Structure 1
Amino acid sequence: MRPSDETRLTLWVLLASATLTVMAGAILGPVVPSIQSNLSVSESLAGLIITTHGALIVLASPVAGAIIDRIGPRRPYVFGLLLYGVGGGAGLFIDSFIPLLLSRAVLGVGVAFVYTGLTVLIYSIYAGQRMDRALGLRSSANSVGAVVWPLLGGALGALTWQAPFGVYLLAVPLGVLAVLTVPEPARPGRDDDSDDGSAVLAVFRRRPAVLSVYLLYFGTNALLYSIVVFYPQLLNGLGVTSSVGISLYLSANGLAGGLSAAGYDRLVARTSRRRLVGTAFLLWTVGFTSAAVATSALLALPGVLAFGLGQGLVFPSAFSWIEALAPPDKQGQLSSYLASAGYTGQFLSPVLFGPVVPAFGIRGVFGAAAVVTLVSALALGVALFGRR
């Protein structure tokens, strides 16, 4: 059955929203030094402008999920877009640190509602292979956003450090467009009268595989940020020292992820989510190993390409698993914990991999990552063999 034009337009609005969740921090990366100098703050305080919204996403996502389960995903999703535009766009007019930090907190709450709202909307509007395609395209849009938004932020930052904040205002007309194009899905009936907390715990007891999906998403994001944080240092030792050169490697990671995620629905139709995730682990093992032993800038490229290809398989698989495992009236909360797990993984990545550097050098980070992914691949292989 061919999707209607209305459903296609809805999907494009949802995909545009997905890129905004990536843009929240990525677009300001190139102007952090300018923020530091113009606001007269330390490097670490300037970095909080990038990370504060992530902490609020972790905290606010479960609240967003509970609200979505009670009133449906459409209104919280639109509310999140408008809050995103207000919180992010406020940076255009703020010229002191504390108010700017507070606006970033507002932005984080908006992202939490957008992230979880669009996830449940995809679950509700699409089904079967069309849902797999929507989830794959969502991950692909995230990857493309990770390439495009930093480049745009750098270009606008050449005008003034506040100019990139204006891009956040795109969320406001997108919210208006969402009101006109995104339908309100039918509300699932609530299957019990217990409070939400005990009901979710009951789901975890009945379906412990949900916790494995959270661990997978946490680990994938931690590995992703091992590249974001430590790959520039590896490249520096290989002679790639310019910000433009480094950005090309990180962009290659995003493009590779976008390509594999775009074909996710066709791949999963031919095999299974478990096998796709196992393939990703093997790609990561090869990629991280190649990074650990790379002796030239050219030999450092396969590492980011391999990780990106695997990432494009894992992210939509995680969302698809949650849809399959979550009761219909708990999809908001259970998908919100996925968002919290992912952003926690990003935040803790330097903490987890940082201690490796003094002992084994920057290459040791990628050697450790290769060991983690190899062990994960073996564990998944044993699980699949056991089931067979």
Structure 2
Amino acid sequence: MSTAETQKGLFKDVNLYIIFGVTLTSVMGVSSIAPAFPSIARSLDVTTDQIGLLITFFTLPGIFFTPIFGILADRYNRKVILIPSLFLFGIAGTACAFATSFDQLLLFRAFQGVGSAALGVLNLTLIGDLYSGNQRASVMGYNGSVLSIGTAMYPAIGGALAILGWNYPFFLTLIAIPVGLFALFFLDQKIEKNGLGINLYLKEIKSALMSKMVLGLFIGMFLTFIILYGGYITFFTILLDEKFEKSSLAIGIILSGSSLVTAVTSAQLGRLTKRFSEKNLISAAAILYTVIFLMIPMVENIWYFTLPIALFGVAQGMNIPSILNLLTGYAPKEYRAAFLSVNWMVMRIGQALGPYVLGLVYLYLSLDGTFYVTAIAGALFVVNSLTLIRTGKRKADLTTS
């Protein structure tokens, strides 16, 4: 069968569209409401240093529930976890739109975070379950494109909805309900029950996770999400509002521009990896992060942000797919969901800590200080990525000796 025929067959597969729906839902929780942060702060009488709690309360449940959901998805089946998660995400997210106080909003965000905890793990796990060989590679590429399109569109859509009112972006989460219904009735169950005893199962996971390479990749992912959700999504948004007095729509469009660059860069990843290793691409991205956040406090004209925003999109497009590609190689099918759930948990910790820690920097130092601290996180990422390269070289030397 030709490549064109294979791709044509894929696009007739209902499972593919359900996976895309899960992916689009999994990235909605923060990017769609970020442009509304200044409006939410004003409407609910919240200080700027506290608004990052909307991300923290959403991401914290994932730290605790994601590994549990991953184990259950391996031990039983994916739908048992996936469908209730989608319904909870949609219901709790919509409830946020009706919150009458910031405390109530944080409570609903926490419930929404529980619903979100398994989504980013199970979309990748389902790809591994349902596809193999070249098909799997194709689906991974398509899914990456869908994710980038979602992260590009949501800030602009959320910003436009926020013009109507701070709560309107939360209604986007209703999309999770029809996705859950489609998954309930149409998602294929090509999954063999894990036959490993629970003690052996946990031992195998622990052994795989203790690899120096895997630990280094987890550290890289953690620092990436500190930078993304702390320095960029939260405090760059606040900078655009406070210093440049941009509307929620304008903020959304600016954030979308970066995501579009990420989508274009991700689409070229196959070509890039023919010339450079994933570890070298990760290192280049880490250097870019550091330079970008050193630049941001110095910008006085809004149009000069074109360069750092474009560079941030390039860094994201090289970095996250490269880390996920390397981690996927360490995820055997017997415990794929649990393995990937640890990565998701690491991401959630970064999401939760980034806005909180930088909120303290904002409170006790300054807005500019949040970007310099983010640059320090980028510098730590540079050190970590260089360590990954050295680890890979040592392993290669041992293999050839």
Aligned to 2:372: 364
- Change in Cα spacing, 1:370 to 1:318, as seen in structure 2 (3 Å) is closer
Query: How far does the alpha carbon of each residue in 1:21-69 deviate from its partner, in whole angstroms, 9 at most, with x for none?
Result: 2221333334445555665666667654443221112221111111111
Task: Map 1:116-195; keep pairs closer than 5 Å.
Answer: 116-187=121-192, 189-194=194-199
Matching of residue 322 in structure 1 with residue 322 in structure 2: no
CA distance in 2, matches of 1:172, 1:215: 34
Higher mean Cα deviation, 160-169 or 321-330?
A: 160-169
Alignment-derived partner of residue 68 in structure 1: 73
Contact 2:151 2:259 in 1 (8 A): yes
Distance 2:120 2:207 in 1: 24
Q: Which moved more, 1:304-313 or 1:190-199?
A: 190-199
Q: Following TM superposition, by how much is the alpha carbon of 1:203 offset from its aligned partner in structure 2, in angstroms?
A: 2.9
Where do 1:234-245 residues align within 5 Å?
240-243=244-247, 244-245=249-250
Q: Write out per-residue CA displacement over residues 239-289 of structure 1, whole angstroms, 9 at most, x where no aligned residue.
A: 633135544442222111121223334544665432332343344355445
Q: 1:8 to 1:285 in 2, by over 3 A?
A: farther
1:331 is matched with 336
Match of 2:60 among 52, 55, 62: 55
- 1:228 is displaced (CA, Å) by 2.4
- Find the residue that maps to 2:199 and give its secondary structure: coil
For 2:350, the aligned partner's letter is G
**Matching of residue 223 in structure 1 with residue 231 in structure 2:** no
Single out whichever of 4-13 and 114-123 deviates more from structure 2.
Answer: 4-13
TM-score normalized by the length of structure 2:
0.81
RMSD: 3.5
Match of 1:305 in 2: 310
The residue aligned with 2:208 is 203
Which of the residues 252, 255, 261 maps onto 1:256?
261
> Among the aligned pairs, what percent are the same residue?
26
Counterpart of 2:214, as a letter, is V
1:375 partnered with 2:380:
no
Deviations 1:97-136, CA, capped at 9 Å, x for gaps: 5554433222111111222211210222233444344334
Q: What are structure 1's unaligned runs of at least 5 residues?
A: none
Unaligned runs of 5+ in 2: none
Mapped contact 2:57–2:106 kept (Cα < 8 A)? yes
How has the CA–CA distance of structure 1 residues 292 and 380 changed in structure 2, closer, same or farther, with 3 Å as cutoff? Answer: farther
The residue matched to 1:187 in structure 2 has which SS?
Answer: coil
Change (3 A) 1:182 1:268: farther
Higher relative contact order (Cα pairs below 8 Å, separated by 6+ residues): 2
1:204-234 superposed Cα distances (whole Å, 9 cap, x missing partner): 34x3432222112111111223222343566
Aligned equivalents of 2:291, 2:48: Cα separation in 1: 35
Determine if the alignment matches structure 1 residue 19 to structure 2 residue 24. Answer: yes
**Is this contact kept in 2: 1:285–1:371, CA < 8 A?**
yes
Q: CA deviation at 1:368?
A: 2.8
Query: Cα distance 1:329–1:280, how it changes in 2: closer, same or farther (>3 A)?
Result: same
Query: How many corresponding residue pairs?
Result: 386
Distance 1:292-1:102 versus aligned 2 partners, 3 A rule: closer
Distance verdict in 2 for CA 1:288–1:17, change over 3 Å = same
Q: One-letter code of the match for 1:371? A: A
Q: 2:227, 2:354 within 8 Å by CA — same for their partners in 1? A: yes
Listed one character per residue, the Cα deviations across residues 314-345 of structure 1 (whole Å, up to 9, x for unaligned) are 22233333322123221111111111111211
